[in-house]
Amino acid sequence: MSPTTSSAANIAFAELGLAPELLKTLSELGYEEPTPIQAAAIPLLLEGRDLLGLAATGTGKTAAFALPLLQLIETGQAVPSALILVPTRELAIQVAQAVHRYGKGKGVEVLPIYGGQSFQQQLKVLKRGVDVVVATPGRALDHIRRKTLRLGSLSVLVLDEADEMLDMGFAEDLEAILAEVPPARQSLLFSATLAPRIGKIAAKYLRNPVEVRITAEAETLGDGPLVRQAAYLVRRPHKLAALGRILDIESPDAALVFCRTRNDVDELVEALNGRGHRAEAMHGGMSQEERDRVMNKLRKSTIDLLVATDVAARGLDISHLTHVVNYDVPSAPKAYVHRIGRVGRAGREGVAITLAEPREHSLLKNIERLTKQKIVVEALPTVADLKARRLELTRASVRESILEGGLDQFRVVVESLSDEFDLFDIASGAVKMGHEAMLTGGESDDEEIPVTMPPRGKNKGDSRSSTAGKRGRGRTPAVTRVFVSVGRASGVRPQDLVRAVTSASGIDNRQIGSIQISERFSLIEVADDVVEHVLKSLRRAQIKGKKVKVRLDKPR
């Protein structure tokens, strides 16, 4: 076995020997540069070599084997050309989706096979013909024994997360499956560790394999004690809501949010702006003029969130940056160091926050080993925490307003009400108005986010996590979406729209739903029973000093 290691060399996918249609797909998906495992493995696999890859989950292994596999296999045959074995149904679905995305330019047919899914449905698709099967060992062996999964034309076999499969007791199933595959095949084995039993499988079933080992070089964080590091375990469907709640609690002066791809950046920026934040994108698909425009906005504090890829964020120096957020766990521990090293500089305190899916908890441990610092896994802020934080911000705003002075012109209002109401009630009513005006009309306060706890013990094979909390079953009021002809180009923020609607129409801000702000227009959800009144009111009003066009949004 010929070992090789990889460092994060700054090379492009085009230099790895991938076919033009795959490069085009990667560009469309927003991938900017390969991770270390991809840079090391792809050229070797394109040469037809067997490979033993040692790298942790989340380092980009799927693309490392899927891209060359898609380039090498014959498609359109009646039986599969590639079989990818994985330990869990969740990973089977995830890998199948990734292979489908990467192979869309070639029209590759992919089928995930796992227990708990209809056997007849799987059989129906297999009879129709697939190019790549992604399967858990037990269900794959079931199909093989029934002769519904035929491997006679198999040219590539992948064992992904082989150590997990062995830990889960699939050793005998793997042996039985490997006995059925053609000897003249390309075999790839990926594992987080090189345990003795992994070495035995590699020696028995791989032909003169090359070993690719992604090593972590010891690295420290410089002014590490000045950076508070925290992580939250969140399932992907709830990441956006979790990020919004964390940002509300943290209230950063300026935050740099990292995503893996350009597409992820663009989607997150749109979603954050729709929830009342002021965010802009920074990625490799932007011109220098666009980058300069975004940086000027950040320096002038007209935005407070910059969402970026690692490549686009190189060389950025943001003096007032207080927070770095890893929306996705970095593909390599060293990337984490580079990201969070942007805060806590020159004696200033900073905060580094990471949103990790439950199965990525081990990646946090890899980062801790590299940095020799603890990343505290914290519980997500609750609805009560969020409400308390918002009240604290309101208290601070009221205090600041009092200290600024200039209150004399408002005393007449207080005096006129003092004969009818207690002074504390008058003050509380004013604070309530100010507090509600600060709310953006985005995420609902009572939105429940399932609580995910870190895994206990060393049962690596158990991919389940403890979750608690159920989404409320209260009836959601009917809303209609209203189009307004002003957007980000006019400097409009969600709170501007909330104030305009409530001031013009007199409705309660609780009758306003989500707000989506695009470059030149905005969409506002309004309760059905007041929407006509809101339309009439806004047509007579101004927003940011401009008359606006208002109409019902056309249904999509």
Where, residue-wise, is CATH 3.40.50.300 in the chain? 2-214, 224-381
CA angle 29-33-35, nearest 5°? 105
Q: Which of 242, 449, 421 is nearest to 328 (CA)?
A: 242
pLDDT higher than threshold 80 for residue 314: no
Tokens of 542: 């101004």
The string of pLDDT tens digits covering residues 487-498 is: 877 888 777 788
Q: How confident is the model at residue 339 (pLDDT cuts 50, 70, 90)?
A: confident
User: CA–CA separation, 36 vs 18, rounded Å?
Assistant: 16
Given a contact cutoff of 8 angstroms between Cβ atoms, the answer to whether 357 and 231 are in contact is no
% pLDDT > 70, the chain:
86
Q: What is the pLDDT of residue 215?
A: 63
User: CA–CA separation, 332 vs 417, rounded Å?
Assistant: 62
User: CA–CA separation, 113 vs 239, rounded Å?
Assistant: 27
Q: How confident is the model at residue 334 (pLDDT cuts 50, 70, 90)?
A: confident
Say which CATH superfamily domain 2-214 falls into.
P-loop containing nucleotide triphosphate hydrolases (3.40.50.300)
Distances (CA, A) of 344 to 230, 374, 551: 14, 16, 48
Strands 2-6 and 550-552: unpaired
Q: Mean pLDDT lowest for which of 29-33, 231-235, 257-261?
A: 29-33
pLDDT higher than threshold 80 for residue 450: no
Higher pLDDT, 518 or 527: 527
Sort 54 into a burial class: Cβ within 10 Å, 0-12 / 13-18 / 19+: buried
Where, residue-wise, is CATH 3.30.70.330 in the chain? 472-556
The string of pLDDT tens digits covering residues 166-195 is: 888 888 999 999 999 999 899 999 987 788
Question: What is the arithmetic mean of pLDDT over 531-556?
Answer: 83
Strands 210-214 and 546-547: unpaired
Q: Provide the H-helix boundaries in 380-474.
A: 383-404, 408-418, 423-438
Highest mean pLDDT among 10-14, 151-155, 161-165: 151-155
Higher pLDDT, 9 or 164: 164
Domain 224-381 falls in which CATH fold? Rossmann fold (3.40.50)
User: CA–CA separation, 501 vs 435, rounded Å?
Assistant: 16
Q: Which of 51, 46, 50, 61 is nearest to 161 (CA)?
A: 61
Q: What is the mean pLDDT of the chain?
A: 82
Which are the contacts of 165, defined by CB distance < 8 A and separation ≥ 6? Answer: 85, 86, 87, 137, 159, 171, 174
The string of pLDDT tens digits covering residues 357-382 is: 887 887 888 888 888 888 888 888 88
Q: What is the pLDDT of residue 300?
A: 84
pTM of the predicted structure, to 2 decimals:
0.52
User: CA–CA separation, 138 vs 422, rounded Å?
Assistant: 73
Given a contact cutoff of 8 angstroms between Cβ atoms, the answer to whether 65 and 221 are in contact is no
What CATH number labels 472-556?
Answer: 3.30.70.330
pLDDT higher than threshold 60 for residue 536: yes
